[in-house]
Amino acid sequence: MDLSNVYFVIGTSYAGKSTIVKNLAKKHQGIALEENYHDAKLPELDSREFPGLTYTRDLQDWHEFIRRTPDEYVTWLENTKKECEIVELQMIEELLEKPEAQGKKIFVDTNICIETLHRISDKQHVLVMLADPETGIHRFFDRPDPEKQFLYRLMLEEPDPQAALDNYREILTRICSKESYDELLHSGFEVIFRDEDRSQEETVLLAEKIFGIS
């Protein structure tokens, strides 16, 4: 694939990945592949080949999702990320072949791992965005997006809502670990740290400088 017009954004929760992808695509009349863009492929995936991704697609009772132990959840998430990478790369390849994508910059909020990004891209095409790990743990349910509020409602429906919430907080603590943060911090790619006092426009300028676009 010719990825010279493809710009990848990775990082932690609450770091602003979705926002920067949308803002860059809008400013540069480009294409935004936003968070979980692989969901568009879900209906056609084979559960034998992609058991992680199709787990939620085929789930009959969503309460089972939140009742998993932290170990079960983290194992599922790690396997699903590997599956996401396969699907996302396929989708990027398909997009690059479409006439409407020719000559356009493509900004991707991605699950593709650091090792793969080093292999297929370079430092001028990958941006890491980081927020304090504690933010992702303690503000997870503050977000208004339907998915997180749906999970929150499921926990409140449990026989012991507090136990359900505590279990999920432990899951988030595992996901938002210092080890994961440090891996991204020392990935070899340029980093933008979340700053509540910085405007979205200023963040766009920082990203453009890293990507070498204007």
Contact yes or no for 194/135 (Cβ under 8 A): yes
> How is the beta sheet containing 6-11 ordered, strand by strand?
31-33, 106-109, 6-11, 126-130, 190-193
- Global pTM reads 0.92
- Residue 191, domain member (yes or no): yes
**Looking at residue 175, which CATH number applies to its domain?**
3.40.50.300
- Residue 1, domain member (yes or no): no
- Residue 93, domain member (yes or no): yes
- Residue 11, domain member (yes or no): yes
- Domain residues for the domain of 11 are 6-211
45-96 pLDDT, tens per residue? 999 999 999 999 999 999 999 999 999 999 999 999 999 999 999 999 999 9
- Residue 132, domain member (yes or no): yes
- Residue 157, domain member (yes or no): yes
- Residue 136, domain member (yes or no): yes
3-54 pLDDT, tens per residue? 999 999 999 988 999 999 999 999 999 999 998 899 999 999 999 999 999 9
Using DSSP, state whether 193 is helix, strand or coil: strand
- Residue 22, domain member (yes or no): yes
Number of domains in the chain: 1
CA separation for the pair 170, 68 (Å, rounded): 11
CA separation for the pair 117, 182 (Å, rounded): 17
In this prediction, residue 147 carries a pLDDT of 83
Distance of CA 205 to the CA centre of its chain: 21
